Structure 1
Amino acid sequence: MDTFSNEPQANPYEGSSAPHDPHRSPTDEQSWWRRPAGGREVLLVALPLVISSLSWTIMTFVDRVLLKWDSGDAMTAAFAAGTVWFSTLCLPLGIAMYTSTFVSQYFGAGRHDRIGLAVWQGVWMALAVSPIILLAIPLAPAMFRLADHTPEVMELELIYFKILCWGGPAMLVGQALAAFYSGRGKTSVVMVVDTSVAVLNLALDWVWIFGYLGFPAMGIAGAAWATVVSLWIKAAIYAYLVLQPQHREQFGTVAGLRFDWPLFIRQIYYGGPSGLQLALDIVGFTVFIVLIGRLGIIEAEASSMAFSVSTLAFMPIWGMSMAASILVGQHLGENRDDLASRATWTALTYALCYMAGISVLYLAVPDVFLIWFFAGDRSGEMRDQVHPLAVSLLRFVAAYNLLDAMGMMFSSAVKGAGDTRFVLRVSMVMATLLSVLSWVAVEWLELGVYGCWAVITLWVWVMGIVFLLRFLGGKWRSMRVIEAAPPDLPVQELETEPAVS
């Protein structure tokens, strides 16, 4: 078994270069749009991922709105329970997501026979941890009692959380299988599948929450079951696509079904810190949400609205950062760290433009986003208290959006190279700080909801600056997660097709 290190390594293919494109003119090299790793290449990879992320964001947003129409407690409970559920999945989900980095580097190096094998190691990991994930169901009452929420909200939280747990294995398997496409830059497939399943989820939400087409009105339970069913359908679609005959021959998607211990361990070694980083970030955020819930129902509901709206900014940038990670992996597989760097800066340009625009909307016309939450509130009892607070909290979101984009972009770029242990160390420190500072703000200094939101704004700023400095340091440029190619494999065989076709 290979020994691993995420320290810079000697390039196994020193002196090789990216494939020459006979259709590229000297002018293209100078054009921001047409040059390698320029605007066009990044957009073709990123836009489907942005649309995919946005589709699920809109689905979650509408899900919260529909639950708000059912009851304010249902919306608050779904937000809190959904966050806790996601935090239980973060470690294995981060490993499953990191499968795309292996696929991208194998693809960039032209080693297509290893791609199917890498994808299935991610699936085996997902199936192995699934029984552990389901153990969270009997532990749920003890977990939610710690939050000290009202009995009504806690009852709804338990219903939502326990049902969602049955969709956890499907989320992990689906993410590992999706890496087969995202890692190769074929992100349009991911867009079509994810968007279609998101539409299905919304339809099931409408039918099962309110009780249409002969189904009983299930409220928050209906929303949870809609998510679970959609996740399993998505996993099944990806499995069907990956096993198509053309993929079996070119990428070994059937031959790679076997368990490969060295590659499995390698993916755990590099993906594990990525998963832990995601888990720590979410745990810190979950503690923040739980503490906000202790301030009162008005504060909890307004914060749930603000965070639900903020996903309209966050998730598209998440998609853009995934594209940056994929392109970094592909170009490092080609041993072109210059193009990997350029792709990251190009993706950041898009991200900052988007974040700036949506932040202006949060400040200038917040009701464009908030009005939907109150459309089903016929009594208007909570509106006068919740609405102005939610408007104020969106100003905090606007204040940290640009630094949030920067942090996501640069952390994803260095993870795409294999610098996952640094990202983990930063997250360990920052998640602890977020939890401690949130507790101090609520329980000790009694700064209230604005104090808590000031804490998370400062936290995002610091994260963005730290990952910018790491990226500029350049240590990631000589890192690789894949093993060196066999010595008898000629360099020219490593040349591969363009990342986007």
Structure 2
Amino acid sequence: MKGILKGPTAHTSDYRQVLTISLPLVAGMASTTVMEFTDRIFVGNHSVTEVAAATPAGIAYFLPLSLFLGTVGYVSVFISQYRGAKLEDRIGSCLWQGLWLSLIGALIMAGFSLLARPLFDLAGHGETIATFERIYFRTLCLGAFFSIGSAALSGYFSGMGRTRPVMLVNLLGMVMNIPLDYALINGIGPFPELGIFGAGLATVCSSALIFLLFAGLVITREDHRALGLTRWAPVPEMFKKLLQYGLPGGMHLFLDIFAFTFFVFLVGRLGETALAASNIALSINSLAFMPLYAFSSGTSVLVGNHLGENQVPKAESVTGASLHLALVYVVPLCALFLFAPEPLINLFAPSAGNPADFAPVREAGVVCLRFVVFYLFFDTVGFVYSGALSGAGDTRYIMWATLCCALCLMILPATVGVLFLGYGLTFAWCCPTLYIASLCIATVLRYARGPWRTMKLVEA
């Protein structure tokens, strides 16, 4: 394992490449994380019950959405390989297949909004929490097109190696979201006090702005004809290929989110304190999760581009550089979570009410964050190497590995332990930790021994 993690020697140019591609993606994902994080803080300051509802509803929304985000976002890998193979005239058609798929995904997400009542009744979180969960879930589902379409458009920029627009557009979305969030949740100025509905509405409005900005940047490109950006018609063969490789990548993200969605709903059976503490820990964990996902996406783009150029050693060296930089990002966060957990958790404390009422949540949250610190190393390594495999097109392995590890090491043990054996919060958090560590090992072994070095998505 030590030799695998070390990998080939990464040169200064490799680190520069990774930083050029991944750093703007990290900043863009971080802005998305900040929006979600401030969502939870504003909602938590408004009501403890609403913050207990926000994370389950948000994860339940992101679960089906992740399938489309992962699938549509895979246009970045195709575009990077087209660019590496000097087949730029196919790039526009590839982007349009992603946009057509985005429209299909948005219609399906709108249909999911009709399932809000039976879904959250089944969760068994109590009628008050369930009411808030339904409101937040429906609002986000009905505005899902902007998020899915933005994934296709940002995938175009990432695949082209132009990630700075991704960063700037997401930062502008954050600048709009945070004050709008605060105003709509709390009823500031001319806005009514909408609580958790205001949080969802602010997120949809910010996503719409991000989509429109991306679309404007694509339309105004001077070389849009050379890249085939005017070829908007569906191309069945290319659409099929996007589904063939992108859908397993989307399923990987879907299965990962499903495992944690199931986990959050299961923890809800342990009581409101355990649910609130877990939701807060997962919200803090998102400070690492989304940027790590950005490192994974950047690794996919770089590996895809180098494989398109038939430069396998370069693909290996940029993967090693990406891992080193991702660890540099994660280690300080782990130190913060480990040595200063209470100030972070206190950000979610209600502004009104007795501070003593929040003490059990804070105490349980500290325990949850210790598990987060332990599994973040495995998550970091797994993200980078799964990104490399995705960049080569080895997405089916990642999908099956995620399914087996999630089902056998997280979902089934947590269900038996919590529902049938009466185990508590500590045991429940052992299950996702075991799942992440095992998936990491499976991914690293596949990278070391797998056929990804000879795989290619595009042909002349």
Normalising TM by the smaller chain, what interval? over 0.9
User: Structure 2: which 5+ residue stretches go unaligned?
Assistant: 1-7
Counterpart residue identity of residue 73, structure 1: T
Structure-1 separation of matches of 2:106 and 2:339: 45
> Which residue number corresponds to residue 317 of structure 1?
292
- Partner of 1:123: helix, strand, or coil? helix
Shift of 1:438: 1.4
> Which residue number corresponds to residue 12 of structure 2?
34
Decide which of 123, 140, 150 is 2:99's aligned counterpart.
Answer: 123
The answer on 1:446 being equivalent to 2:422 is: yes
> Which residue number corresponds to residue 387 of structure 1?
362
Decide which of 395, 404, 412 is 2:379's aligned counterpart.
Answer: 404
Q: How do residues 335-350 of structure 1 correspond to structure 2 at under 5 angstroms?
A: 335-350=310-325
Counterpart residue identity of residue 157, structure 1: E
- Partner of 1:253: helix, strand, or coil? coil
Shift of 1:353: 2.1
Decide which of 299, 302, 313 is 2:277's aligned counterpart.
Answer: 302
Pick which of 271-280 and 364-373 moved more: 364-373
> Which residue number corresponds to residue 93 of structure 1?
69
The answer on 1:252 being equivalent to 2:225 is: no
Counterpart residue identity of residue 388, structure 1: E
Structure-2 separation of matches of 1:127 and 1:315: 24
Structure-1 separation of matches of 2:211 and 2:22: 22
> Which residue number corresponds to residue 19 of structure 1?
none
The answer on 1:229 being equivalent to 2:205 is: yes
Shift of 1:59: 1.4
Structure-2 separation of matches of 1:459 and 1:105: 32
- Partner of 1:247: helix, strand, or coil? coil
The answer on 1:463 being equivalent to 2:439 is: yes
Counterpart residue identity of residue 397, structure 2: F
Residues 267, 275 of structure 2: 8 Å contact kept: yes
The answer on 1:109 being equivalent to 2:96 is: no
Structure-1 separation of matches of 2:316 and 2:352: 49
1:342-389: CA deviations, max 9, x gaps?
111110011122222211111111134222112624421422211111
Shift of 1:245: 4.2
Decide which of 120, 142, 145 is 1:144's aligned counterpart.
Answer: 120
Pick which of 342-351 and 228-237 moved more: 228-237
Structure-1 separation of matches of 2:225 and 2:84: 18
TM-score (ref. length: structure 1): 0.88
- Partner of 1:146: helix, strand, or coil? helix
Structure-2 separation of matches of 1:92 and 1:146: 24
Residues 10, 317 of structure 2: 8 Å contact kept: no
Pairwise CA RMSD:
1.4
Decide which of 253, 260, 263 is 2:238's aligned counterpart.
Answer: 263
> Which residue number corresponds to residue 158 of structure 1?
134
The answer on 1:55 being equivalent to 2:12 is: no
Structure-1 separation of matches of 2:24 and 2:309: 23
User: Structure 1: which 5+ residue stretches go unaligned?
Assistant: 1-29, 486-501
Counterpart residue identity of residue 167, structure 2: M
1:159-194: CA deviations, max 9, x gaps?
000111112111111110111111111111100001
Q: Relative to structure 1, is the Cα distance of residues 70 and 416 closer, same or farther in structure 2, using a 3 angstrom cutoff?
A: same
Decide which of 413, 436, 444 is 1:437's aligned counterpart.
Answer: 413
Counterpart residue identity of residue 376, structure 2: N
Q: How do residues 170-185 of structure 1 correspond to structure 2 at under 5 angstroms?
A: 170-185=146-161
> Which residue number corresponds to residue 15 of structure 1?
none
Counterpart residue identity of residue 259, structure 2: G
Decide which of 448, 455, 459 is 1:479's aligned counterpart.
Answer: 455
Structure-2 separation of matches of 1:129 and 1:319: 22
Residues 406, 435 of structure 2: 8 Å contact kept: no
Larger radius of gyration: 1
Counterpart residue identity of residue 287, structure 1: F
Counterpart residue identity of residue 205, structure 2: V
Q: How do residues 204-215 of structure 1 correspond to structure 2 at under 5 angstroms?
A: 204-215=180-191
Structure-2 separation of matches of 1:367 and 1:247: 52
The answer on 1:292 being equivalent to 2:267 is: yes
The answer on 1:188 being equivalent to 2:164 is: yes
Structure-1 separation of matches of 2:105 and 2:440: 32
- Partner of 2:125: helix, strand, or coil? coil
Shift of 1:404: 0.5
Decide which of 49, 66, 76 is 2:52's aligned counterpart.
Answer: 76
Shift of 1:393: 1.1
Counterpart residue identity of residue 429, structure 2: W
- Partner of 2:160: helix, strand, or coil? coil
Counterpart residue identity of residue 406, structure 1: V
Structure-2 separation of matches of 1:192 and 1:93: 20
Structure-1 separation of matches of 2:225 and 2:162: 18
> Which residue number corresponds to residue 194 of structure 2?
218
> Which residue number corresponds to residue 5 of structure 2?
none
- Partner of 1:363: helix, strand, or coil? helix
Shift of 1:283: 1.2
Counterpart residue identity of residue 330, structure 1: N
Would you tell me which structure has more helix in proportion to its own residues?
2
Structure-2 separation of matches of 1:377 and 1:297: 18
Decide which of 392, 401, 422 is 1:426's aligned counterpart.
Answer: 401
- Partner of 1:135: helix, strand, or coil? helix
Structure-1 separation of matches of 2:45 and 2:223: 46
Structure-1 separation of matches of 2:10 and 2:259: 39
Structure-2 separation of matches of 1:364 and 1:428: 34
Shift of 1:420: 0.8
Counterpart residue identity of residue 187, structure 2: G
Residue identity over aligned pairs, in percent, reads: 36
Structure-2 separation of matches of 1:373 and 1:89: 26
Aligned residues: 452
Shift of 1:213: 2.2
Q: Relative to structure 1, is the Cα distance of residues 451 and 270 closer, same or farther in structure 2, using a 3 angstrom cutoff?
A: same
Counterpart residue identity of residue 216, structure 2: Y
Counterpart residue identity of residue 304, structure 2: G
Pick which of 115-124 and 165-174 moved more: 165-174
> Which residue number corresponds to residue 10 of structure 1?
none
